[in-house]
Each structure stands twice: as C-alpha cells, then as structure tokens.
Structure 1
Amino acid sequence: MITIKDIAKLAGVSPSTVSRVISNHPRISTKTSLKVKQIMKELNYHPNIIAKSLVSKTTHTLGIMLPRPAEELFQNYFFGELLRGIITHATRMNYELLLTTETSSDNELHAISRLVHGRRVDGILLLGSKRDDPIISFLEAEKFPFVLIGRSEAHPNAPMVDNDNVQTAYDATHHLIAQGHTRIGFVSGPPDITLSHDRMLGYQKALAQAGLDADSDWIVEGEFLQESGFRAMSLFMSLPDRPTAIVVIDDNVAFGVLRALAELHYLVPEDISVVSFNNIALSELASPPLSSIDIGTYQLGYTAVRVLLKILSGEPQLHNPVIIPHRLIVRESSLFSKPRPPSD
C-alpha cells in the first residue's frame, strides 16, 4: 500500500508537506503542490479519509437537514437551486456533504443528535426554520457549529443567511397595488414556518399603507406544493367577492395557481394577476410568464456554506443575519394595467 512517506520520498519533500498538499494548505507553493499531486496521480494514491479524520478530529463533511416532508425537496425547484449553491462552494473548499431527512419533528431532532454526538460532520446547514425550532435549541445547547438558511424568531443570535422576507412580500404586493388592484389575496405556506409568517407581514403592511383591507377570505395557507395553489384558486374563484390579484408564497405553488385558473377558464392577467417568489428557471416559461421576486436562491446556499466554514475556522462573524438582496422580475402575469371587475 502506498503511503504518504512513499509520496514524500519520491517528491523530495517531507511527509508533513504532502499532508498539507492534500489539505490544500495555502502556504504550499503551486510548484510543490503540482509535483506532489502528479506523483499521487501516477501511483493512484488516495488519502485515507477515516485515518485523516482520527488525526485531525475533523471529518471535512457538512450535514444538511432537508425539509420535511421530503416530497417538497423533489417537487420544488427552489431546493434544487439552493443545493446547487451549497454544493458549488462546499466542493470548491473540498468538503463532502451528508444529507438527512426525516418524517416527523421528533425524528428530525433524533437525526441531528446522531450527527452531532457521532461526530459525523463538522457543521450543519438547516434549510429553513419553524417559528420555535427545537433543532436550533439543541444545536445551541451543544455549541455545535451550524448555519440557518432562514430566520429564527426564538433564536435571534443564531447564525443566519436570509432575505428580508417582509420586504420581499411588501414589494410584490405594492407592485400589484401600483397596477391598480385593490382586492389582493395571498396564498401562504404552513403557518408554523417563519418564512410564511414574514411574507404575510409584508403583504399586510403593503395593504395597510395603501388603505386596503386584508380580507381573511382572501388568505389561504398550505404547503409548498402545486396542489396547494390549485386548491387555493378553486376556493378563491368560487367566492362571490373574489380578489383580482394574488401574491403566492412560492413559484411552485404559483404553477398550481395557473393550472387551476386555466382549467376554470380564467385569463391571467386579464381576470386575475399573479406575483410569486423565487424566480426559478421555469417561471419565464410558464403560461403566461410569471412575475416573481428573485431572492438569489443560489447565493443563499453558496453564502450559507461560506459563513459556516468561517465559523469552523474560528473567524468572527461580523454581520448576522447575512441578508441576500432581492429584486422583482416583472412578466406578463401581472402586467394588465386595468383589472377587470369580478364577474357575477
């Protein structure tokens, strides 16, 4: 079996230099690094990660707590883009990723406990938070490195990477008001999710500032799935006093909204205008193209890894939360300047 000592002897360097090359230590010159890596390649040498972890007491692995239910991960394009940002920076920094998901809150906590107490990862990324999240309480009590992609009301000092979700929903709602709408509904997410709460606040704030009412009949809560959008529109369009525009919590839910409206023979934006969030790649391919708030999904994932690695290296966290900027992408779904009154 080829060892580090063998590599060092052939390269004319010390074993510690070979170890630093394997770890991509910044003080090793490019010339030495290339020489050592070429010899490793010629000899088909691969470092023993387990042995290395025992010596360094690190795994060079980050854990990711996937959302529950797991179906959301595979049915919602948002998570694919978020993971793309996470994977890009983790790979660039030579970190592996360990993904875990569970079917209940108790199982989620147990899964995180196994990762922490088993020292299977160096840090954890949480892809969202409930308004009172026991996982964050556990990680803070264990003093285990983690970063939340989202916001925690109960744990304001937790390391967070997020958007200003009150402002994002305010901007989406204000856009509809500027288009002449006075009857604006909201298709929200689960009420125990901080994101849903914050976007509801932004929606209500924009209406209040414009002197408009937030009619409770025009607010529907659901999951981040197309079926939730479909059900919401079936309800909205059966009301005798229906909205002429809606803000939708997520593009994936908005696709369900558009599908329901098409089946019910309503026109977008002539009969009802739609604005959503995330600006996933399929938004501009929808029929009609979907107006959406671009929240920088890729950047959320990429930045969360960067923040977590800084925590692991002991660097001070200068800003918390780290806020990723957003922008409204206006497309055809919300550009009808004179909304038609509801039909009888």
Structure 2
Amino acid sequence: MTVTIIDVAKEANVSPSTVSRVIADSPRISEQTKRKVREVMARLDYHPNFQARNLAAKSTKTIGVIMAHSTSLAFQNPFFPEVIRGICTSAHARQYGIYLSTGGTEEEIYQEVMAMVQGRKVDGIILLYSRVNDRTMNYLKESGFPFTMVGRPYHSENEITYIDNDNKKIANDLVNYLYKLGHKQIAFIGGNLDYVVSSDRLDGYQKAISEAGFPYSDAYFIHDHVFKTKGKSGIHELMKQNTRPTAIVAHDDLVAYEVIRYLEELSIRVPEDVSIVSFNNHALSAYVKPPLTTVDISIFELGLEATNYLLEQMLDPEVEVKHHYVPTTLIERESCRRLIE
C-alpha cells in the first residue's frame, strides 16, 4: 500500500502542509520539526512525488544541456563528461535533473531547443559551446528564456551570461612559454574556426608571434579541416619545410595525441626534435608518451559555475548579466625541450 503525505502527517502529528514545507525545506519550519518529519518519512519509506509537485509549481526542476554534436560523438571527447560532472554537482545540490540534447546537426539541435523552450520541458538551458553566428544562441537570446553559455559569445557579449577561459591570453602565454625555452619557429594546429574558442586561441597565438617580432606564416598553421582530412600527410608537409618548426601548439589534448602519433610514424621524436604544448589537461595527458605539457582549463568549474549562474537567472529573471573567466594552470610535463640554457 502506497504511503501518502497524509500518512506521514498523522504519524508525525503535524499537518500535511507542514510535511509539504519540510519537503521544500522551508525556512519557516523549525529544524526540530524538520528532523521529526524526515525521520517519519524514512521510517515509512515515503518518497515525495516531485514530478507532481513541479507540475503544480509550473516547474520541471530540469536543466537542458546542449552540446555541439550528438551525445554519441560528444562523449568521445573527455571534455564533456567532466563539464557535465560540474553541471550535475550544482544541479543535484538544488534538486534539479538534466536533459541532454541528442541532436546531431545544427538544425536538429535548433529544433530540439525550440521544443524544450516552447514545450516548457526545462526551466533553463546551458549551451556547452559558442558557435559563430549560431541560430540556437540567437533564438534563446530573443526568446528571453533563461540560458548560460560555456564559452564567450560571438556577439552580444554584454547581453549574455557566460563562463569561459581567457583563451586569447592562454594561447599567448603558451607561445611565450615556448619562446622562453628558446623556440622561435612555432606552429599552431587549430580547432574548428566555426567555434569561438578556436578563433580565440588562434588570435592569441598570432598576437604572441607578432609581439615576439616573428612574421606570421600560414605554412605554420594547420586548419582543423586540413588536419582531419590530411592527418599524417599534413604533419609531414609541416615538418619537411626548409625551416621547420621546433615547437607546436595544439588546439587541445586530443589533437596533440594524434600529432605525437603521426610524428612517431615519421620518426620525429617529441621533445628531442619538436616540442608540443596543448590545452585542456585531460586525464590521459599524464600517461601518453611523452607525458603532455598542457593547460588545465578547470573543466569541472566551467560546468559548475555555468549552472550556478543559470540557477540565479531562473530564480531572478532580472539578475544582472555576468561574465567570468575560470582560472587556468600550465601543467609542465615532458613534451617540451629547452633549446637555450
């Protein structure tokens, strides 16, 4: 026989409304009463029907989490499980669940977000990416629906709450790190420039090269599309130049792993022949050969803070727009060699 809120109220000798307030953790109820009611709930094995409560309150107690690709592709990248861990930590503390997008194309993602908003399937949305001229972001902004972004928006930056790393500065710092080790020929293997994070990292690299007094060369930049289609041959072309690079900045650790593999197949050693630095500090980066020097971008904190800001927005639609850069740390391992003493 199902235990009801009335059964709990009788056993605890309180009104059903008091039990309801205890479930909601109302500050109007004393800690002594809360403790007594919760003990009865545990003894009777009573579980509140949160779904019914949320419908009555016109709240789903659910946050939509939108990835740039389908879940099957996204979870191949260690970034997403870690950022979602941060989201879940914050959401769970407030008794929210998450609704993961499953769209595999830009159009499917857009349609899914429209359905989430118009069908009130979620109370707010977190975009785990920032794409250049993104329909989905534009729709969310125009609809007035609560949302935050992991990543700097391409436009309307002062109108959207977001969490990010200072990717231009980090890329600049990586080039300067290599420069202090004696490297002057520094290549960059980039990410997809349809995403703001990729264009920001390329901008930071180019600025650092210019500030160091070195001419920027397109021959030292391998675009994401070229890297994906040409792979080993693209790295071979880079490394057979008359003045070949002594160091490479990779867009992220996954790219760095591939570069190291291609270089090994070409009998080019890391770091003896070429040094490599990267971004993200995935768990495997300490165990590849050689262990990878990379920037820890605090992925967990990105998810945690994006959710905290979203929850603020959901509780108070008039809350001010916020921007926050999560701190980063360079993790020095064994993939870089000093050329000067």
Calculate the TM-score normalised by the size of structure 1. 0.91
Q: Paired residue for 1:76?
A: 77
Structure 1 residue identity aligned to 2:155: A
Match of 1:144 in 2: 145
What per-residue deviation string (whole Å, max 9, x for no partner) do you get for residues 297-336 of structure 1? Answer: 1111111111111111117655621111112112211133
Match of 2:295 among 290, 293, 296: 293
Please give the alpha-carbon distance, in whole angstroms, between the structure 1 residues aligned to 2:73 and 2:275.
25
Asked if the contact 2:60–2:121 (Cα under 8 Å) also holds between the matched residues in 1, the reply is yes
Superimposed CA distance per residue, residues 241-287 of structure 1 (whole angstroms, 9 cap, x where no aligned partner): 42111111111111111111112111111111111001122111121
Q: CA deviation at 1:15?
A: 2.2
Q: How far apart are residue 173 of structure 1 and its match? A: 1.1
Q: CA deviation at 1:74?
A: 2.1
| AA aligned opposite 1:174 | N
Any idea what the Cα deviations from partners look like across 1:121-148, whole Å, max 9, x if unmatched? 1101110110211111111121110110
What residue number does 1:342 align with? none
8 A Cα contact 2:146 2:317, kept in partner: no
Q: Report the more deviating stretch, 72-81 or 31-40.
A: 31-40
Contact 1:222 1:228 survives alignment (8 Å): no
How far is the alpha carbon of 1:90 from its aligned partner?
Answer: 1.1
CA RMSD of aligned residues (A): 2.2
What SS does the aligned partner of 1:191 have?
A: coil
Residue type of the alignment partner of 1:202: G
Per-residue CA deviations over 1:177-231 (Å, capped at 9, x if unaligned) read: 11111111111111110000100111011111100122101111227x9988756
Which shifted more, 73-82 or 329-338? 329-338
1:116 — aligned with what?
117
Match for residue 268 of structure 2? 266
1:133 aligned onto 2:148 = no
Structure 2: gaps (5+ residues): none
List aligned pairs for 1:22-41, cutoff 5 A.
Answer: 22-41=23-42
What per-residue deviation string (whole Å, max 9, x for no partner) do you get for residues 116-175 of structure 1?
Answer: 111111101110110211111111121110110001122211110111111111111111
> Which AA in structure 1 matches 2:41?
M
1:164 — aligned with what?
Answer: 166
Secondary structure of the corresponding residue to residue 68 of structure 1:
coil
Runs (5+) with no aligned partner, structure 1: 340-344
Provide the C-alpha distance between the structure 1 equivalents of 2:290 and 2:119, rounded to a whole number of angstroms: 50
Q: TM-score, normalised by structure 2?
A: 0.92
Q: Give the whole-Å Cα distance in 1 for the aligned partners of 2:17 and 2:324.
A: 37
| Residue in structure 2 matched with residue 50 of structure 1 by the alignment | 51
Residue correspondence of structure 1 range 300-311 to structure 2 within 5 A: 300-311=302-313
Aligned residues: 338
